[in-house]
Amino acid sequence: MSDHPSPKPGSSSSLSDGELLHAHEQAVADKTDDRGSYKLLPLVLLFTFSGLIFFGGTYLNLFSGHFDPRIFDERALPHTVDTSVKMDPVVYGKKLYESLCINCHQPTGLGVPGTFPPLAGSEWINGSEERIVRILENGLKGPITVKGMNFGTVPMPAVGAGGANWSDDKIAAVLTYVRQAFGNTSGPVTEEKVVEIHAKIGAHAEWSPEELLKLP
Ligand code: HEC
């Protein structure tokens, strides 16, 4: 048996349900906030939150990629991401041209008479892929003629391994770009073609015009 005194119904020490409710209602009614009334949500907060929701919605609409798993997959590991989608070689090639070739062959592709040969209308750039890929991979030490003009006072530096160390896909892209820029209308040079020629070359110093002119 417990020693706890349980209030007896109707005894003076306990309140009836009705009295309790009444006391509670009074206590609640007395409790006003510091200004004695409820305040409206400050307008500035309303605008701030509306603004944030609007910004968030617009942002997701523009940048969520419609939650397409091919665009964003937070569980993808770097080596499982599909990298087969490549940048347009002409766009990529233009960037590459502007990062290096432009210094000598000029923004116009016209070169500098007597020093840097033109790429615009050049029989080399519009000719055999076998030659131009080699020129870029390993460099060229003239003398050569381009559009009836003589060059060879300075060599063309290697752009591939041993020079600027560009990968085969960069060499393909820059050649593809140059072959359709400056009024040239020759077809693209594929990465596969550059890889194929590169494999045939092995390690090689800068080319002489005689070696190149023997090639098909
Ligand atoms: C440091 C200056 C320099 C840079 C940088 C340079 N070249 Fe050249 N390039 C030359 C010179 C000089 C020659 C001629 C060499 C000779 O006659 O021995 C030449 C020759 C060539 C030729 C063969 C001749 C012709 O006019 O068609 C091609 C093609 C060529 N360069 C493409 C490029 C490309 C593409 C790049 C950028 C990836 C590049 N060059 C970067 C100086 C440069």
Distance between CA 191 and CA 135 in Å, rounded?
16
Q: If we measure between CA atoms, which residue out of 89, 81, 84 comes closest to residue 193? A: 89
Domain ranges of the chain: 43-80, 89-214
**Residue 105 alpha carbon to ligand 1 centre in Å:** 7
Most confident of 21-25, 41-45, 126-130: 126-130
Question: 195 CB under 6 A from ligand 1?
Answer: no
Q: Name the CATH superfamily housing domain 89-214.
A: Cytochrome c-like domain (1.10.760.10)
Q: Above 80 in pLDDT, residue 191? A: yes
Confidence category of residue 141, pLDDT binned at 50, 70, 90: very high
For a ligand 1 pocket test, name from 92, 99, 100, 104 the mutation site with the most ligand atoms within 8 angstroms of its C-beta.
104
Residue with tokens 């040079």: 189
* 137 neighbors 145 (Cβ within 8 angstroms): no
- Whose C-alpha lies nearest to ligand 1, atom 41? 101
Query: What amino acid occupies position 212?
Result: L
Q: Above 60 in pLDDT, residue 8? A: no
Distance between CA 22 and CA 199 in Å, rounded?
96
Question: 122 CB under 6 A from ligand 1?
Answer: yes
Question: Mean pLDDT, the chain, as a whole number?
Answer: 86
Question: 117 CB under 6 A from ligand 1?
Answer: yes
Which atom belonging to ligand 1 lies closest to the Cα atom of 154?
Answer: 12
Radius of gyration of the chain (CA): 39
Question: Residue 134 — φ and ψ, nearest 5°?
Answer: -65, -40
Q: Is 76 or 100 the better-scoring residue by pLDDT?
A: 100
**Residue 12 alpha carbon to ligand 1 centre in Å:** 110
Distance between CA 193 and CA 179 in Å, rounded?
15
Q: Above 60 in pLDDT, residue 2? A: no
The model carries a pTM of: 0.69
Question: 162 CB under 6 A from ligand 1?
Answer: no
Asked whether the CA dihedral 134, 139, 143, 144 is positive or negative, the reply is: positive
* 151 neighbors 143 (Cβ within 8 angstroms): yes
Write the pLDDT tens digit of every residue in 84-125: 677 899 999 999 999 999 999 999 999 999 999 999 999 999
Asked whether the CA dihedral 161, 167, 172, 173 is positive or negative, the reply is: negative
Question: 135 CB under 6 A from ligand 1?
Answer: yes
* 89 neighbors 176 (Cβ within 8 angstroms): yes
Query: What amino acid occupies position 162?
Result: G
Q: Above 90 in pLDDT, residue 132? A: yes
Q: Which CA distances in Å does 138 have to 40, 119, 148, 160, 195?
A: 76, 18, 24, 6, 14
